Amino acid sequence: MQRFPLRRSPWALPFLAPLAGRRPYATVDGDRIVVRMGLIGRAEIPLAQVDRVGTMDWPWWGGLGARIARGLVAFVGASGKVVLVELSSPVRVRAPLGWSTRSVAIGAEDIDGLIEAIAQARRPRAAGPD
């Protein structure tokens, strides 16, 4: 399991920290991507449903926390570059209420590391010797 803390804006900490509990994070664990933001929101994304992974810029005016935006759900603690996970079929997330989405934005501190971890987890495992 690889854990990726979410980037946080210092001025937003007093507002997000009480609801987010421990430090918000994303993990790539076995066959899924898990995002946790305490009471604010969470997502469990099966890797089998991941269609594409890329990046996008999350605007400052988009807000912070678990955000329902046009065509996606974002888990962000600061504006800037985020990982965009596009899905082949909708998944149910909590943001903070239940919502179905086909795109999830994740504002990890290590964007490239999260993308690489997802890519590695999606690669077919080499068959062992027969």
Residue 130 placed within a domain: no
pLDDT in tens, the chain (130 residues): 899 999 987 665 555 555 555 788 999 998 999 999 988 899 999 999 999 999 999 999 998 889 998 889 999 989 999 999 999 999 999 998 899 999 999 999 999 999 999 999 998 765 556 5
Q: Which domain holds residue 50?
A: 2-121
Which CATH number covers residue 38? 2.30.29
Distance of CA 21 to the CA centre of its chain: 17
CA distance 48 to 62: 29
Q: What does the block give as tokens for 129?
A: 């010797």
Residue 127 placed within a domain: no
DSSP state of 77: B
CA distance 109 to 77: 10
Residue 105 placed within a domain: yes
Residue 126 placed within a domain: no
Residue 89 placed within a domain: yes
Number of domains in the chain: 1
Residue 109 placed within a domain: yes
Can you give the length of the chain in residues? Answer: 130
Residue 91 placed within a domain: yes
Query: pTM of this prediction?
Result: 0.88
Residue 128 placed within a domain: no
